[in-house]
Structure 1
């Protein structure tokens, strides 16, 4: 499925989308006993590196508190969640971008968990100001909004209204990431504490969890791993390539590490893994497959603080939903990021609905010729069908009067069937096509026949079909435009023989 592109990411959003592998996190359930799936949870996140924390150029000393609100707390209804908390003097303060105090740094993010081993899908996100709202990008319906916010470095009070009416058929949740400024983080390991008061309007309890976030020592091993898709012109349809970048966030040079790329979901195989470590005193190291996982060792390479190791990963057999984990392991710690490639494959079949059509040998009359177009998604990845162009063959003595259809998307109405001067018809039939599903459209072409204007030779040609000879039979060429959702462009021709009755 494709969603409309979101506006350019703000710096804070970019930070939250970086794949960080943090060895030390702490989460506390607001109401016990409870799970992250059924009740509110609070978590502390300390980002040791990255770009764009709180609108700055780097993420050093970036601490945020995440409140997760699952749909289970207000099924088929709306609720207000109010979060109020003091900062901790000498440790951290709230980051308030607006001088009016009507915004706290951070984001509200709405996710749907579709299960089946897939990570939750981010549907939409927004800032946390008094005018911020979340809208379902497909339906244009509101999901949530900041109802009230008061932010000072010492104190935050935020009320967020969230509606789970539209998403109750899925396991959905809202994340509120609240940004802070750390006071003199230093190089040593530290712990930070957060004790908010959380009130839910549809409940009668005031909740006060205590959460801790841990900052590792600056010398402790840590890397930020990210992946980036690479387009390769002329590559095979089932081939893919991405780069993996691992940045050393530690003050200690990174050495004696292993880089791996391994399939965690799907049919894809790792064809090759190559890392150029010559800039760090090492060599170009590589491994070849195809295999489910490939690894290379750093050898003599030593990567200084803030420097990036870049590797290239080539995949084969990319069909359907695929996820490959790119990771760097040093000592007993692994830092990773997922590369996701969903490649649906849509097959197109066309068939006539009649084995033959009989026509009267004399007079003027109408005949109908039917045919079907079927799009089938053969994979476990959601895709889309395609727009089509119908190009009927019109023999001498035949006049195409109309084309009608059933099974088309709802927006293809009667006005869509206006014929062009050459008899062709363009239809906007492209639509989403779920995994392992199909859709069939049936079309009927109505011809007026002036039998006296049809020569004996034409009747003879119309009586048989020959795939190598488009002049035989009554033909319909169907041009498939193709789509980014797995349908390839192409043309297919259907032929129906027409015989004179009594012959």
Structure 2
């Protein structure tokens, strides 16, 4: 058996490391990050460079592998997470008959200097036995409905015997998605174009007269609807009393944005120069069981005649936002990098305050009237802040919102 060493320097072994978080309560583990197994490859699990582990040293030759991996879980992950190292060897002369292979690597841990020698055993069927490899790949469809999806299922015949008398199926194993159609083109293998129509939880088609030679692939298209939240569809080929499958995962978080003024109205003196403050909130809500993200936002306080924007401040945002981020740009806007994880079924609220300098003597009667009303279609009314929300790429769509506070002029 040999190791696969993609780098000529021997500082990389073929394989992956994957970081999972186990949420418990019967939920499947969530993958946060994966990486290769080359020197200094890191498991970065967010956009700020936080890593759950990295390759500290690797020496790879076809005959020998030495890999040192450092795990760097923080306190938040200790009890709920784990690391999966996936790497394998290749049999040099596998032969055509059925046989089993065993591997007993030596694993030394830094905790307690434990030395472990687990044994992994793999069974290889005879080359003529029925065997297939099933894979899935997402397909982007321009103009499709928001809850629609499509993927291609491929099944490769790994047997020296032609693949025949098989069925192909696609069925929901998690979520609420429906399979709307399953179509396989078998004309290249002496068969026909076979299809099944839904919507249904499961659709299946039969091969008919098709015979797939060794090494050739069957390709099928699967269309989905109702793809909201976490969804898994099992793509399966059944032949010779065996089944070969692959899971297609399509997680679609759906989020909502609410922007609301903290005060309906404030009072302002009819004369003089002074400061007033208005507050407003921006709330992101994830309505599904799939993890999503909040968005970056741009605050655009509207400034009527006689009023000057002095400062903008906020709280409740991600930890990396500092005072420097609240610098007012030449166009009067404030751009904030508020994009962050938004776990399933959760919400987060950020509160902002605008401080204005009011020169009451410079405000006309019409100006006071405009300040005393709010109109969602007219941001020049009241003290309005327009909030531009970017597309988060995970549940929050781009949009523009506003919060308005009326100003009531007091009597002398």
Query: Which bin holds the TM-score, normalised by the shorter protein?
Result: 0.7 to 0.9
Q: 2-side partners of 1:465 and 1:110: how far apart?
A: 52
Partner of 2:43: 136
Deviation at 1:242, TM superposition (A): 0.6
| Structure 1 runs not aligned, ≥5 long | 1-92
Q: 1-side partners of 2:351 and 2:147: how far apart?
A: 31
Counterpart contact for 2:17–2:43, Cα < 8 Å: no
Partner of 1:112: 20
Counterpart contact for 1:262–1:326, Cα < 8 Å: yes
Partner of 2:234: 325
Partner of 2:131: 222
Q: 1-side partners of 2:396 and 2:43: how far apart?
A: 27
Q: Note closer, same or farther for the CA distance 1:473–1:327 as it changes in structure 2 (3 Å cut).
A: same
Partner of 2:259: 350
Q: Deviations over 1:26-73 (max 9, x none)?
A: xxxxxxxxxxxxxxxxxxxxxxxxxxxxxxxxxxxxxxxxxxxxxxxx
Q: 2-side partners of 1:423 and 1:103: how far apart?
A: 52
1:337 aligns to 2:246 (yes or no) = yes
1:251 aligns to 2:160 (yes or no) = yes
Alignment partner of 2:2 out of 94, 119, 127: 94
Q: Deviations over 1:99-153 (max 9, x none)?
A: 999679543624425254435637334447xxx3453314555735466758674
1:412 aligns to 2:321 (yes or no) = yes
Q: 1-side partners of 2:89 and 2:105: how far apart?
A: 14
Q: 2-side partners of 1:229 and 1:257: how far apart?
A: 24
CA RMSD of aligned residues (A): 2.9
Equivalent residue runs for 1:412-451 within 5 Å: 412-451=321-360
Secondary structure, counterpart of 1:467 in structure 2: coil
Partner of 2:92: 182
Alignment partner of 2:34 out of 119, 124, 132: 124
Alignment partner of 2:148 out of 239, 242, 249: 239
Q: Note closer, same or farther for the CA distance 1:348–1:181 as it changes in structure 2 (3 Å cut).
A: same
Q: 1-side partners of 2:307 and 2:110: how far apart?
A: 71
| Structure 2 runs not aligned, ≥5 long | none
Q: Deviations over 1:395-428 (max 9, x none)?
A: 2211222211111222322222222333222222
Deviation at 1:261, TM superposition (A): 0.7
TM-score, normalised to structure 2, is 0.88
Secondary structure, counterpart of 1:136 in structure 2: strand
TM-score, normalised to structure 1, is 0.73
Partner of 1:263: 172
Q: 1-side partners of 2:314 and 2:226: how far apart?
A: 37
Q: 1-side partners of 2:279 and 2:19: how far apart?
A: 45
Q: Deviations over 1:353-392 (max 9, x none)?
A: 1111111111111111111111111111111111112222
Alignment partner of 2:189 out of 264, 272, 280: 280
Alignment partner of 1:378 out of 287, 291, 294: 287
